[in-house]
Structure 1
Amino acid sequence: MTIHEISPKQLRALLLLLVLVPFIPLVLMLRFMTDALQGERDAARERLSSDTQRTLSSATISVDRHLTTFVGPVSPEEMRRLCLEAFDPTIDISISDAGGGLVAGPAKPPGRLVAQSSIKYLDKPWTTRAWLVDERPLQEEVRDQFKVYAWTGLIAAVAICTIAAAAGLTVNQQLRLHELKNTSVATVAHELRTPLATMRVLVDTLREGRYRNEEQLREYLDLLHSENLRLSRLTEHFLTHSRLARGQYQFTFAPVRADSIANHALNSLQPKLSAPGCSFTLDVEKSLPPVMADRDSLVTVLINLLENALKYTGDEKRITLRARRDDDTLVFIVEDNGVGLTATQRKQIFEPFYQADQKLSRSRSGVGLGLSIVRAIVSAHRGRIEIASEPNRGAAFSVHIPLAQA
């Protein structure tokens, strides 16, 4: 069975779908809750009407008995008062005669009609009506159910949004990984092609004997050696990044002095740092306390930071490597007078294959893995890295590594 890879277009469509889909159950749930609450209100009104009807019927029966035993006429208002005694203040009573004319009670309907009953007065049928003038008891009866629905809906909405957000983050991560893979493949191909093409031209030239003298032969061999070192560095960066990303990089921790780490880093870069146009300053005291670290890894950190400084400075380079103690950590600081970084670049500079200045990256070797490797190694040492930089004002990278316990 062939498994087809999802294209970026499909991933973006899926991401958009994950953003829109949660609204469907939320709308349906809101509609269900609204209908359920309306049903609760209707049921509460029905119960109120039924209870009021029974109470009103009992009250009119009592009034009717009172009228048959009472000597003398009774006013409609007295009849209304006798009916009201059976209800709480949320109910008002009106009485109308056989023709529908109002004889007692409010002139206008004071609320919603909830019950009515007939009573005989002076051999004529009169009608008593019960009006709900205050719906707060009805609302209080529904309020508890509303709280249940509200909390249930809130929890369900949070759960749906959380699941959708998690799925969206996963899809977005896959999209970024897809784009990163394409970028990394293109970058790697470009960086490998350049030295390979140079080496091929030089090898063909030497094979055909197209050189004038021993001096030119030595020059061609030096170029071959330089390009070979460049390929070796690229390959080492790829392997280191891959091992760190998969958690397979082996660290050997032991107490190491700061000057030892700095000197091993400088041994690899001495020709570049001592080249014309480069002013390099080393400020690392031998008296600094040791750190518990993997020496080769921290050497790689300093080499990558120094190479980054060399890459992003102009013709007049001023680079400084310092080390100092800061409480319970040792701080390595690499400063330069290069192009500097914006706030956005400072946030992205440690991402794999990211290069702050694309013009400089095209004119100089590198695939954008150096600082990503630096961050991974520093994190493995339970340290941290800080950047102080402004555009066109250089940059200072500070690496904090915990001191070795005495």
Structure 2
Amino acid sequence: MADEVPHAAPRGMKLTARLLLGAAMVVAVLLLVVLAVLDYRLRTEVQSGLREQLTREARLVRVQWTPAVAPDAMADAAGEALGHRVTLIAADGRVLGDSEFDDGALAALENHATRPEVVQALREGVGVARRPSRSAGDEELYVAVRAPGGVARVSVSTRAVDAIFARSRGEVFTAGAIAMVVALGLAALFSRNVSRPVAELRDVTRALAAGDLSRRPALSAPGEVGDLADAVRVLAEQLEARLAALGTEQALMVALTEALTEGVVAVDARQRVVRVNAVAQQLLELRDPVPFSIDRLPRLRPLRAALGEALAGAATPTEEIRVNGRVLALTARPLPAGGAVLALLDLTPLRRLENVRRDFVANVSHELKTPLTVVAGFAETLVEDEQLTLEQRQQFAQTVLANASRMQRIVDDLLDLSRIESGRWRPAPEEVDVEEASAEATAAVQSVAAKKGVALEIAPAPDATVLHADPTAVRQVVSNLVENAVRHTAAGGRVAVTTRRSDEGIWLSVRDTGIGIAPEHLPRVFERFYRVDPGRSREAGGTGLGLAIVRHLVEAHGGRIHAESEVGHGTTIEALFPEVAEG
């Protein structure tokens, strides 16, 4: 304890200084408030009383002012009797008499018709103004009353009033300074008695907060400080006993909940979330530190209903809910001591796979149904109808052959897609000349494009003529993209194969001037069997798998693909082939 005394003393001095500063601030504020109130009230009362006195004097002068009396003599006599300046002013503003000016000086005085107190007195009967005097030279308080002969005005200099105010302020300041010295002396004595036990309690509580549960307050003081010391002592003993048990339980609980693949949310009896594992935070997008109110949980009716039943003491059966675009299996169980536990299992990947499988089966069945129906129908006709001419039989046979070829293309594309997705096919990259590979890939579609009147152009950029990719994959990518572009471009249109270099690699682009794709369809054009216009695509002979194959081929090279389009103005599809770092 000896080594703690020097440490506690400066801190006690800090508290004493704060108490002294607080007392000084309180006295200073009180002094300023008293001075301001006293100054305001004194000024108000004196000015009000002075205005009333001057008003009475002016009215007395008005009564004494008769036509039989000389105005200047009357003003001199009234000014001597009242001790204030008296001025008699005609209705047109001429000064008829003034107690501070003789007959010779009256003629030199300015016309008073525009003086504020004169204007107000002529209009309302009584006028009051405080302003500098143009004739006397100092600030004066004027009170004027309307009289039969014009205006009777009485005025007094404000310097005497201001002197009273100044003396009052000085006396208040002196009294305030004495009060501050006395208050600081008393505060110094009080702060010493308060700061020492408070400083010791502060050091003990800081030690407890830092984890030193062996510290106990040694002081024994009367009143609230002594009660506080006893409470701190009891608190330290309870903390030491409880923290050991809580530490073990906390570590076990955290390890269990964080090891789960399910999301776990624990709610206490006061409807506060007291524990959330990392999986639940991710699934429910919770960011608040625990504990927090259950109102911060997602406002979903099934979740709130299950939580309400569990808090009421009833377990709920597992049900599926949708939260933030995910499908979750929700189970709620009550806790023995009150509260509830929510368990959340993410079913999104499983449901996504089920949807993919269901869509794939439906799409394959739909794509094969039409050609199979055609083949079966025409084959049955060929077998049963002996009246067909040779030309009709050849025509039916060609139809059967065309639909069989279509089914073969679908099956081949499915096999290629399955081989790429399963990882059984891996690209064998080498240097590929873009122009040469594109020419080979578009050879088969040249006749179709010429027949439709669509111009084909291959124009790689000078700095991007060679790709580091699998040659077969590049040809298949170009072939599928160009075939798709020609299929959806009307006569007179153009399809161009170009390249451009970027920091990531080389972009291979196929741009057409066709019908374009609406914005809502763009994100899904690379899905299997997805068609913007199903009927038109099937009539044109597409399988619905070309763009899906292209995407998987490009991604197998570590690249990516995206589409840009505007309805009526064509479509551009770009595929990135990363470059191989040298060395």
Q: Structure 1-normalised TM-score?
A: 0.56
Equivalent residue runs for 1:123-134 within 5 Å = 129-130=223-224
1:345-364 superposed matches below 5 A: 345-358=521-534, 360-361=536-537, 364=540
Q: Report the alpha carbon displacement of residue 191 of structure 1 after superposing the two structures with TM.
A: 1.0
1:161 is matched with 280
Please state if 1:258 is matched with 2:258.
no
Which residue pairs with 1:181 in the alignment?
Answer: 357
**Other structure's SS at 1:392 match:** coil
> Is 1:272 paired with 2:448?
yes
180-189 or 195-204, which moves further after superposition? 195-204
Kept after mapping to 1: 8 A contact 2:435/2:458: no
Matching of residue 323 in structure 1 with residue 323 in structure 2: no
Determine the structure 2 residue equivalent to 1:87.
Answer: 197
The residue correspondences of 1:2-21 to structure 2 (distance < 5 A) are: none
1:129 alignment partner AA: G
Per-residue deviation, residues 260-294 of structure 1 (Å, max 9, x unmatched): 32123223323432233x41322246986432322
Q: CA deviation at 1:187?
A: 1.2
Taking the TM superposition and a 5 Å limit, the aligned residue runs for 1:58-137 are: 87-88=197-198, 129-130=223-224
Aligned partners of 1:347 and 1:181: how far apart in 2?
20
Deviation of 1:237 (Å): 1.4
2 CA distance for matches of 1:282 and 1:332?
13
Q: CA deviation at 1:334?
A: 1.5
1:175-224, CA deviations, whole angstroms, 9 ceiling, x for partnerless residues? Answer: 1221222121111111111112222233233334453244x444334333
| CA drift at 1:320 | 0.9
* Pair 354,171 (structure 1): closer, same or farther in 2 beyond 3 Å: farther
What letter matches 1:395 in structure 2? T
Residue 325 of structure 1: how far off its partner (Å): 4.4
Q: Which has the higher contact order (CA 8 A, sep 6+)?
A: 1
Task: Structure 2 unaligned segments of length 5 or more: list them.
Answer: 1-189, 202-219, 255-265, 267-272, 285-325, 329-344
Q: Does the Cα contact within 8 Å between 2:409 and 2:543 map onto a contact in 1?
A: no
Equivalent residue of 1:220, what SS?
A: helix
The match for 1:211 is 388
Partner of residue 405, structure 2: 229
> Structure 1's 341 and 82: CA in aligned 2 closer, same or farther, altered over 3 A?
closer
Change (3 A) 1:159 1:405: closer
Structure-2 separation of matches of 1:390 and 1:356: 13
Per the alignment, residue 186 of structure 2 pairs with none
Cα distance in 2 between the residues matched to 1:157 and 1:338: 54
Structure 1: which amino acid aligns with 2:405? L
1: distance between equivalents of 2:194 and 2:461? 100
Match of 2:370 among 176, 194, 200: 194
The alignment partner of 2:456 has SS state of: strand
Do the aligned partners of residues 233 and 209 (structure 1) sit closer, same or farther apart at CA in structure 2, a change above 3 Å counting? same
Higher mean Cα deviation, 198-207 or 188-197? 198-207
Q: Write out aligned runs for 1:28-39 (5 A).
A: none
Q: Is the 8 A contact 2:480 2:550 kept in 1?
A: yes
**Cα deviation, residue 360, structure 1:** 3.8
The 1:192–1:317 alpha-carbon spacing in structure 2 relative to 1, beyond 3 Å, is farther
Map residues 382-393 of structure 1 onto 2, 5 A cutoff.
Answer: 382-393=558-569
Q: Which amino acid aligns with 2:280?
A: C
More displaced 10-residue stretch of structure 1: 203-212 or 164-173: 164-173
The residue identity in structure 2 corresponding to 1:386 is H
- Mapped to 2, the partners of 1:266 and 1:291 lie a distance apart of 17
Query: Measured at CA, do residues 268 and 82 of structure 1 come closer, stay the same or move farther in structure 2, by a change above 3 Å?
Result: closer
CA distance in 1, matches of 2:484, 2:497: 16
> What SS does structure 1 have at the residue aligned with 2:572?
strand
CA distance in 2: counterparts of 1:158 and 1:319, whole angstroms: 57
1:37 matched to which residue of 2? none
Amino acid at match of 1:161: A
Equivalents in 1 of 2:423, 2:365: separation in Å? 25
Tell me if the contact between 1:322 and 1:334 (Cα under 8 Å) persists in the aligned partners.
yes
Change (3 A) 1:159 1:332: closer
After superposing the two structures, state which structure 1 stretch, 240-249 or 377-386, moved more.
377-386
- Residue 248 of structure 1, aligned match among 400, 420, 424: 424
1:334/1:396 contact within 8 Å kept: yes
Amino acid at match of 2:576: H
Say how many residue pairs are matched: 282
Secondary structure of the residue aligned to 1:354 is coil
CA contact 2:438–2:458 (8 Å) conserved in 1: no
* Mapped contact 1:319–1:334 kept (Cα < 8 A): no
2:197 maps to a residue whose letter is: F
Structure 1 residues 209, 251: closer, same or farther in 2, change over 3 A? farther
Aligned to 2:457: 282
| 1:298 pairs with 2:452 | no
Residue 397 (str. 1) matches residue 576 (str. 2): no
Give how far 1:239 is off. Answer: 0.8
The secondary structure found in structure 2 opposite 1:88 is helix
Note if contact 1:255-1:404 (Cα within 8 Å) is conserved in structure 2.
no
* Cα pair distance change 1:132/1:194, threshold 3 Å: farther
* Structure 2 contact 455–493 (Cα < 8 Å) conserved: yes
TM-score normalised according to structure 2 size? 0.41
Name stretches of at least 5 consecutive residues in structure 1 with no aligned partner: 1-79, 92-116, 119-127
| 1:256–1:210 CA distance, 2 compared to 1 (3 A) | farther
> Percent identity among equivalent residues?
24
State the AA in 2 paired with 1:201: G
> 1-side partners of 2:369 and 2:545: how far apart?
17
Q: Report which of the two structures shows the higher radius of gyration computed on alpha carbons.
A: 2
How far apart, in 1, do the equivalents of 2:192 and 2:426 lie? 95
Is the partner of 1:130 in helix, strand or coil?
helix
CA distance in 1, matches of 2:487, 2:469: 27
User: Which residue does 1:98 correspond to in 2?
Assistant: none
Report if the CA contact (8 A) 1:333-1:399 is conserved: yes
Q: CA deviation at 1:396?
A: 0.5
Q: Within 1, Cα distance between the matches of 2:475 and 2:195?
A: 95
Structure 1 residue 362: Cα displacement: 6.0
